[in-house]
Amino acid sequence: MPKAKTPRTTKAKAPKNVLQMPEVPGNGNGHPNATTAFESEIRTRAYELYAERGYANGNADDDWLRAEREVLSRHGKNAQSA
């Protein structure tokens, strides 16, 4: 009698309609969390700007760009190189 074959396990694929979170890219200096730290600081500052405007909707992009400029200039980085 032939030996029974065991089924091979295959890696499960994510459904096509589910979005996957991208991996955090490294920033080239060996510190992959540095990008995340800047983004977190920018997000916090953008929320502060939103709060200062009385939580009025409609300026999220402006708040983000202003926060990005402020945070990057505080850390001595040019906003164009980020």
8 Å CB contact between 64 and 20: no
pLDDT grade for 79, boundaries at 50, 70 and 90: very low
Q: Specify the pTM.
A: 0.53
Question: Distance (Å, rounded) from C-alpha 51 to C-alpha 35?
Answer: 24
Looking at the structure of the chain, the number of domains it has is 1
In a domain, 67, yes or no: yes
Give the residue carrying structure tokens 């200039």: 73
pLDDT greater than 50 at residue 82: no
pLDDT grade for 80, boundaries at 50, 70 and 90: very low
4-27 pLDDT, tens per residue? 776 666 666 655 555 554 554 555
In a domain, 68, yes or no: yes
In a domain, 60, yes or no: yes
29-77 pLDDT, tens per residue? 555 566 788 899 999 999 999 999 999 999 999 999 999 999 999 988 6
In a domain, 5, yes or no: no
In a domain, 43, yes or no: yes
Q: Which domain holds residue 44?
A: 32-76
